[in-house]
Amino acid sequence: MKSMLALAAVWLLSLPAMAGTYAQTRYPIVFAHGMFGFNNLAGVIEYWYGIPEDLRANGAQVYVTQVSPLDSSVARGEQLLAEVQNILAISGAAKVNLIGHSHGGQSVRYVAAVIPGQVASITTVGSPGFGSPVADLVLNINNISPTLESIALGALNALGDIIDLLSGGQYTPNIQASLTSLSTAGAAAFNASYPAGLPTSSCGQGAAVTHGVHMYSWGGTSVFTNFLDPTDALLGLSSLAFFGQPNDGLVGQCSSHLGVVLRDNYDMNHLDEVNQAFGLHAWDVDPVALYRNQANRLKMAGM
C-alpha cells in the first residue's frame, strides 16, 4: 500500500513536467521574423504571439531569432546564418527546421542555400517571394516628390530604430535596402541567386526538396478579419496597392508560393499569420494551430 502511494505521488509530481509530443520534431524549430520584426519588444511583446509556447508545450525545441528589422535580404540572411550556427553549436543538433514570416522567408531561403546540409526544412509564411507592390509603391514616391520620399523613409527608419532599441538588437536599420529587396525587381534579383523552391510555372508549386532541404509555404488572402484589431485598418490601406488582386494586406497570393504550397488563401491577413495583434484573428482559422500542424508534419516526415 505504501509503495502504491509512493508511486502515485511520483506520478502526480511528474505531471507538470509532462509535455505533449504532437510537435516533437527531431530537429529544433527556428523562427525568423519579417520586416519591422523582432524577437520580443521590451521583453514582453512577442513577434510570434503565443506560438513558441504552444510548440514547446507540444514537445518541440524552439528558438526565436532576431535580425535587423530593416535591411537587404542578403544582409538579413547573413545575420540569421550567424544565429543558426550559434543554435547548432548550443543545441548540438545536426540540423534545424527554419520557419520565416514575410521578409524572414528570404532569410531562411538564404540560410538553406548556404548550409543545406544543416537545414532539414524551411517553411515560409506570407513571404513575398516575388516581391510586393506595396514596396514598389513606396519606392515610387521618389518619382513624384523626392522630399516626400525622404520624409517617408526617414519616418520608417526611425520606427525601425525604435523596434531595434526596444528589442535589444544591435542593428542599424536600412529602410532603402529593405524596400529595394522587397520590391518586384529586388525580389527577382535575389531569386536569380537563390531560386530553390520557387514555382517554375506562374502561381504553381515549387520543388518539394532541393539539395536535401524540404520546403513548404502558406499564406492568407484576407485583410479585415477581426473588428477588434486596429491593425486591420493599416493593412486595408496597404492592400489598395494590389488593385483588387488577392492579398493579405502586404503580400499577394501567388507571391507567397514556395516549395509545397500547403495553402495560399487562408482567412488571414499579414499580421494574423503571426497571431497578431495579441491573438486577434478571424474566427475560422487559428494561426497557432497551423504552426502546430506544420511541426507535426515535420515530425512525421522524420525531421
Nearest of 83, 105, 106 to residue 96 by alpha carbon: 83
DSSP 247: B
DSSP 252: B
Phi first, then psi: what are they for 67, rounded to 5°? -125, -175
Q: Is 248 a catalytic residue?
A: yes
Q: Is 120 helix (H, G, I), strand (E, B) or coil?
A: strand
Could you tell me the smallest distance in angstroms from the CB atom of residue 273 to Ca ion?
A: 9
| Pure H helices in 24-103 | 51-57, 73-91
Do you find a cis peptide bond into 277, omega within 30 degrees of 0?
yes
Residues contacting 65, CB < 8 A, separation 6+:
30, 31, 32, 33, 39, 80, 83, 84, 87
Cα–Cα distance between 51 and 160 in angstroms, integer? 23
* Annotated active-site residue in 33, 101, 214, 270: 270
Q: Is 150 helix (H, G, I), strand (E, B) or coil?
A: helix
Could you tell me the smallest distance in angstroms from the CB atom of residue 223 to Ca ion?
A: 10
Residues contacting 210, CB < 8 A, separation 6+:
112, 116, 196, 197, 259
* Annotated active-site residue in 248, 255, 264, 281: 248
Could you tell me the smallest distance in angstroms from the CB atom of residue 44 to Ca ion?
A: 18
Nearest to Ca ion of 35, 175 (CB atom): 35
Could you tell me the smallest distance in angstroms from the CB atom of residue 34 to Ca ion?
A: 15
Asked if residues 270 and 232 have their Cβ atoms less than 8 Å apart, the reply is: no
Nearest to Ca ion of 33, 297 (CB atom): 33
Could you tell me the smallest distance in angstroms from the CB atom of residue 275 to Ca ion?
A: 8
Could you tell me the smallest distance in angstroms from the CB atom of residue 93 to Ca ion?
A: 33
Nearest to Ca ion of 71, 229 (CB atom): 229
Cα–Cα distance between 228 and 281 in angstroms, integer? 9
Give the largest CA-CA distance in the chain.
85
Q: Contact positions toward Ca ion, by CB under 5 A?
A: 229, 271-272, 280-281
Nearest to Ca ion of 112, 280 (CB atom): 280
| Nearest position to Ca ion, beta carbon | 229
Residues carrying an active site annotation: 102, 248, 270
